[in-house]
Structure 1
Amino acid sequence: MSKGIQTILFPVDDMQRAKAQFNKLLDAEPIADAPYYIGYKVAGQDIGLVPKANAKHMTGPLPYVHVDDIKASLAVLLEAGAQTLEEVKDVGGGRLVASVRDCDGNPIGILQDAG
């Protein structure tokens, strides 16, 4: 079951410059601030900044649809013609992510929280 798009990641060249811009744009301070990820939680939405060097398949913002069963959701996307960009992987704490390129070339992420 889909819980909708709740997370969007932005690949950035300069993490500190992007952080300053997003702090002002969102009128918020990050809830996570590390060299590999700066994250915000605003109105139930997770917004993350990642260095472009770590975002190999990201050519722009990447939306993540939150799902209950990431493997089943990935299978449905692939059956519908999507191509795998990133296999299912644990990014910490049991949170699983994967991404595909849809039939029109758009990147789509899927995310399953632990538990």
Structure 2
Amino acid sequence: MADKFSAIIYPTKDLEKAKALFTTLLGEPPAQDTPYYVGWTIDGQNIGLNPHGFEQGMTGPIPYVDVVDIKARFDALVSAGASVLQEPTDVGGGTQIATLKDADGNTIGLRGAPSA
């Protein structure tokens, strides 16, 4: 079974305005609402707002692929020619994210679930 894109994170400069817009777009309030992340889960798809995204180098939305072993997949992508933007980093509760760029400059996001 192939991994799937299950999260799309948007950088935002004005979290309250973006939250209002996405609440209108998605037709429901966010499931997570914190000063550092606002997120919805719609039919298994996570959609999030990152108020620090631009500071972290995001230039637009990043789709994240859920992977079983984030370190192994990260290393494999680097070996295949991807450039490192962010090493696997814990973002809370044991969930890790990492970002890389492909040869054309497109951002690739990886998301690893907490270890069991």
Which TM bucket (shorter chain)? over 0.9
Runs of 4+ in 1 over 2 A off after TM superposition: 52-55
**Equivalent residue of 1:9, what SS?**
strand
Equivalences for 1:36-115 in 2 at 5 Å? 36-52=36-52, 55-114=55-114, 115=116
Code of the aligned partner of 1:37: Y
Cα offset, 1:3, TM superposition: 2.3
Query: Runs of 5+ in structure 2 lacking a partner?
Result: none
Q: How many Å separate the matches in 2 of 1:2 and 1:97?
A: 18
**Equivalent residue of 1:17, what SS?**
helix
Give the RMSD, CA atoms, in angstroms: 1.4
Code of the aligned partner of 2:73: S
Contact 1:2–1:67 (Cα < 8 Å) also in 2: no
Q: Which has the higher strand share?
A: 1
Query: Runs of 5+ in structure 1 lacking a partner?
Result: none
**Equivalent residue of 1:3, what SS?**
coil
- TM-score scaled by structure 1? 0.93
